[in-house]
Chains A and B, each alone.
Chain A
Amino acid sequence: MARVSFDQPAVLGALGAGGFLLAWEALSRSGLVSPIMLPAPSVVLQSGVALVQSGELVDHVLASLWRAALGFLAGASLGIALGVALARSPRLHGLLNPLVQTFRAIPSLAFVPLAIFWFGIGETSKIFLIAWGVFFPVWVNTFIGVRDVSPILARAGASLGATGWRMLAFVVLPGALPFIIAGLKISLSIAMVLLVAAELAGAVYGVGYLIQLSQQVFRVDQMFVGLATLGLMGFAADLAFDRAVRWLFPWICARAGDARRDAALRRERRRVGAWTQESFTP
């Protein structure tokens, strides 16, 4: 039999997850808790399969994804545009920054009732809320990235003939890209939070709505299916985002790899340093 090391991360992770599911299954079947309140994982899986087969789950997922994508796109474009504008124009910055900072200080979730009051429970309120939440981190990151663009690179660009919009498009924006992408990535999870909040507040389709509906008809198993779906959606969105970044901007990953390598080297040096110190102290 091949030797399996229990210290491998994948093995440990699988053990942890398997143990958790088994314990949950056992608890649900033990009679200690009501199986209606806490359905076993096997039951949740069955309801999941049923929801997929009826096509219901796919409709909910598509509705949610569509809203999230539109809201994300709107909020991200506005965030990037305003971030660049404020970083490039001190006057505009002076004019708008206090305002944007004030709005940023208000938790986006607090806008749910207002958005529904203004736009109803249709698509507009949901897209608005998601865009609102996505806007701020993207704006902050873009602003910092553009403002702090490397002066050496800007000089290199200028000496090579980049002026005006060319400087912006070919030097400043690419230089700020790592920051912008970090902002977009944070916004991805924010978009999910606002999506669910908006759907819980009222919708006709969507994974959040599925959870809400299941609660009203005491289908806790379906609520769990909704929760698992949200988890998978978040995970898939993160993965797709990373893949897209790596594919579109291979240099960002090369640099990240660099930083990781440097950090590992530093750690190693510290370790060796610590070791020599210890071994030489009497």
Chain B
Amino acid sequence: MSAASSAAVIERPTPSAAAQDLPASALIRCEAVGHVYRSTLGDETQALASVSLAVADGEFLCLLGPSGCGKTTLLNMIAGFVTPTSGRIVVGGRSVEGPSPDRGLVFQDYSLFPWLTVAGNVAFGPRMAGQSAANRKTLTAELLELVGLGAAADRYPSELSGGMQQRVAIARALATDPAVLLMDEPFAALDAMTRGALQRQLLEIHERKRKTIVFVTHNIAEAIALGTRIVVLTPHPGRIAEDIRVDLPRPRRRTSNGFNTLYERLAAAIGVDMAD
């Protein structure tokens, strides 16, 4: 075990812990999961090698890695859209068999239902669950207030900016009161200013709602700004290179020493040039 490079950064045991070493109490347990994509022509792409990962309740985990390292694949397996070709995933003590409203999703591309208003989008999950109209209304109002979009309730998604759409998507994912929030580069398409504002808002939501969040990003600064823990994936095939607990005080300033030390370490782990 290497010495911690900063007082604020504490190393986890072994990054590639074997499946049986995962704590049984963890909310999400990826037990040696791997995935191989098979094309119709028979070509095989190993997107993910055996990945073992335990996410504790309330954790804000950032999955960091370069393009093509299998971040989306791993997230989609936790979501239940992609079945692992090896290993298994357990969430809340139950093996993941498919998507469930207990795992909320926020996608990179805009995924709001264009035929529903903002309020209709947020109320969609509760409606599928058969909640009463009165319940849906109070819940929707509360969640839109939480993401600061109370005034936009009756607008259609096409009338919103990208940042507003992603905030609605977050409110919609929260509406089923999921134990886990899975987010796949939700802010990647936004400009730097909007992105910063949404990051702060997401932290506030994490604080208030105490949700477990798995957040995929290929932006090192974003991972440091948000995560209580950062897991670095490297490609070909995707595997865990680093697993770092982040205890830097908030708000995390880009100019602070701890931020920069961690940044360099993550950049080295991913193998990117420090030029950018």
Asked if residues A159 and B128 are in contact (CB atoms below 8 Å), the reply is no
Which one of B9-17, B96-104, B252-260 is at the interface? B96-104
Which one of A76-84, A119-127, A249-257 is at the interface? A249-257
Give the number of A-B contacts (CB < 8 Å): 72
Asked whether A170 is an interface residue with its Cβ less than 8 Å from the other chain, the reply is yes
For the side of the interface on A, what is the size category?
20 to 34
Tell me the A70-90 residues at the B interface (CB within 8 Å). none
Complex Cα–Cα for A156 and B175 (A): 13
Asked whether A148 is an interface residue with its Cβ less than 8 Å from the other chain, the reply is no
Asked if residues B111 and A152 are in contact (CB atoms below 8 Å), the reply is yes
Asked if residues B125 and A160 are in contact (CB atoms below 8 Å), the reply is yes
Asked if residues B113 and A161 are in contact (CB atoms below 8 Å), the reply is no
Specify which chain B residues have a CB less than 8 angstroms from the CB of A159 in the assembled complex.
79-80, 99-101, 103-105, 173
Question: Which residue of the partner chain B has the closest CB to A250?
Answer: B156
Complex Cα–Cα for A46 and B174 (A): 68
Whole-angstrom distance from the CB of A250 to the nearest CB of chain B?
Answer: 7
Asked whether A166 is an interface residue with its Cβ less than 8 Å from the other chain, the reply is yes
Specify which chain A residues have a CB less than 8 angstroms from the CB of B125 in the assembled complex.
160-161
Question: Which residue of the partner chain B has the closest CB to A160?
Answer: B125
Asked if residues A155 and B156 are in contact (CB atoms below 8 Å), the reply is no
Whole-angstrom distance from the CB of B168 to the nearest CB of chain A?
Answer: 12
Asked if residues B107 and A255 are in contact (CB atoms below 8 Å), the reply is no
Specify which chain B residues have a CB less than 8 angstroms from the CB of A158 in the assembled complex.
81, 98-99
Contact with A along B102-120 (1 / 0, CB 8 A): 0111010101111110000
Specify which chain B residues have a CB less than 8 angstroms from the CB of A156 in the assembled complex.
105, 107, 111-113, 172
Q: Beyond A159-B79, A161-B128: 14 further Cβ-contacts under 8 Å?
A: A152-B111, A156-B107, A156-B113, A159-B80, A159-B104, A160-B128, A161-B176, A162-B124, A170-B124, A170-B128, A174-B115, A174-B116, A175-B113, A255-B114
User: Which 8 pairs from chain A and chain B are nearest by CB?
Assistant: A161-B128, A160-B125, A161-B101, A174-B115, A158-B99, A159-B105, A159-B99, A156-B111
Interface residues of B (CB under 8 A from A): 79-81, 98-101, 103-105, 107, 109, 111-116, 124-125, 127-129, 156, 158-159, 172-173, 175-176
